[in-house]
Amino acid sequence: MCHKDPKKEFEYFEYAPSLYIKVHYIHISQAELWVRYENIINNVIHKIKLTEMEALDMAFVSKFISKEHAPMIVESLSNIFSDAIIDDELLKIDVGAILGGMIQKNFKSIEKQNRLMEKIDMRQINNYLEELVYDEFGDVLDKRDEKIEAQAQEIESNKKEIKVKDAELESKNEELEFKDAEIDKLNQQKDEVQSKLKSLSEFKDLNSPEARAILNSLILVR
């Protein structure tokens, strides 16, 4: 599907010396897009069931209409989407998903986006898509979820182990701080004793009151 006219219906590309890829180009002119848009509107208004191609036109028109008219077209198609009669439920989901993408692309206002998303019942579309994904890849996703759960439990276990180690370190730090304080106290007492011994050495008479006071204080030091 091309936004601009490629001026050709198809083109060959050489993939390997004996292998070529044929690419088909599809371009819908702006005039044709307007015709298809009006056809969709008329059919929905008159409650006419849409063919598969007409249902797809809702996606094609919203995606390939010019930027100038895109917001108006996307809003208009979003407003009638829920009333469109499309028998193929999966096709309707696909079209709704594309409309949802165009809503987000063309409207910056979150309030506007949410209002239009409600119009196309995007929540239900997402639920359908999730069911489809699980139907197709349920086993793989279950294994992934189990792996994620196991990793989450391992992380939680590691957190608890780290907390225990942190507590042990905190306890050891407190013990070291206590020992440092004891060492400081002993060093202070040592300095005090050395100072008093130096003072005693200066006394000629150790029986003097001053000398005996110093001796008594030394006896009290433990």
pLDDT tens digit sequence for 108-141: 998 988 888 888 877 766 666 666 556 656 666 6
- Using the 8-state DSSP alphabet, how is residue 88 labeled? -
The candidate with the shortest Cα–Cα distance to 58, out of 128, 131, 6, 120, is: 120
> Which of these, 57, 78, 156, lies nearest to 121 by C-alpha position?
78
Give me 107's structure tokens: 């409207």
Reported as a single tens digit per residue, the pLDDT across 58-109 is 999 998 999 999 999 999 999 999 899 999 888 888 898 889 888 988 999 9
Query: Given this model, what pLDDT does residue 222 score?
Result: 53
The sign of the torsion formed by the CA atoms of 210, 213, 215, 221 equals negative
pLDDT of residue 199: 75
pLDDT at 204: 67
Handedness of CA 105, 107, 108, 112 (dihedral sign): negative
**Mean pLDDT to the nearest integer, 37-45:** 94
Dig out the tokens for 4 from the structure.
């601009």
* Segment of 36-50, 159-173, 189-203 carrying the highest mean pLDDT: 36-50
Count of other CB atoms within 10 angstroms of residue 209: 8
